[in-house]
Amino acid sequence: MYRKNGVVLVLSGPSGAGKSSLINKINDYIGDYYFSISTTTRPIREGEEEGVHYHFVDEDEFKKDIEADNFLEHAIVHGNYYGTSLKPVRKALSEGKLVIFDIDVQGNTAVNNRLGDITTSVFITPPSLSELKKRLQNRSTDEDDVINNRLKMAKREIQRISEYDYLIINDDLDVAADVLKQIAITARIKIPTDKINEFVQNWEDIEQ
């Protein structure tokens, strides 16, 4: 029963929580995985690669996938379509891969609505709001108003931690990475509902 099908690992948490750093520390230890990236209709920019930064498609293809219900979620931003396509996700799952999503709390709800029986979810956060603010300021990549908006968003998201299977407090990167590695390994042996039902039906192999 084990590992015949792919599974999903959802990672959520405020910007500055260290999600990317944690993934980079564990990617050599968790087996074959696919990191879900967005699909967009905007033109590819210099330095970007298809299948690395985004999946780039034209507007007609994007709209056809909307009609075919092939998006987990989608939106129009500055005149271009962006969305999380289920096509590469389904392909990766059929190949038995661990599919990793780095998404917000609304995205976690969407994933669970579609793929809940094979999904493990993790909320990652610094130990406090003040620590998050310090990390965002130390990055020196955002203006003060952007940082303030990120902090407001984090305060809203933190109220929904109970919707997740696990909470990782990223106070020590090495410790947090070890916890995430164990969760990812455990997630791989989660059994889909249809496989459980199949097992139950076949379990009684003797007559009473």
In CATH, which of 3.40.50.300, 3.40.50.1820, 3.20.80.10, 3.30.43.10 is domain 1-32+97-201?
A: 3.40.50.300
> End-to-end distance of the chain based on CA atoms, in angstroms?
25
Q: Domain 37-95 belongs to what topology? A: Guanylate Kinase phosphate binding domain (3.30.63)
pLDDT digits (tens, 9 = 90+) for 164-176: 999 999 999 999 9
* For the chain, domain boundaries: 1-32+97-201, 37-95
The pLDDT tens digits for 100-120 are: 999 889 889 999 999 999 999
* Distances 76 to 28, 39, 103, 136 between C-alpha atoms, Å: 35, 12, 17, 27
pLDDT(80) > 70: yes
The mean pLDDT value for 17-40 works out to 93
Residues 7/119, Cβ–Cβ less than 8 Å: yes
pLDDT band at 146, cuts 50/70/90?
Answer: confident
- In whole numbers, what is the pLDDT of the chain averaged over residues? 91
Lowest mean pLDDT, pick from 18-27, 74-83, 111-120, 181-190: 74-83
pLDDT higher than 60, residue 2: no
**Averaged pLDDT, 146-164:** 93
Q: What are phi and psi for residue 47, nearest 5 degrees?
A: 95, -10
pLDDT band at 46 (very low <50, low <70, confident <90, very high): confident
Q: Tell me: pLDDT of 1 over 70.
A: no
CA-to-CA distance for 105 and 123, rounded, in angstroms? 9
Name the pairing type of β-strands 71-77 and 80-85.
antiparallel
- As a whole number, mean pLDDT of residues 120-130 equals 97
- Answer with the residue of higher pLDDT: 119 or 207: 119
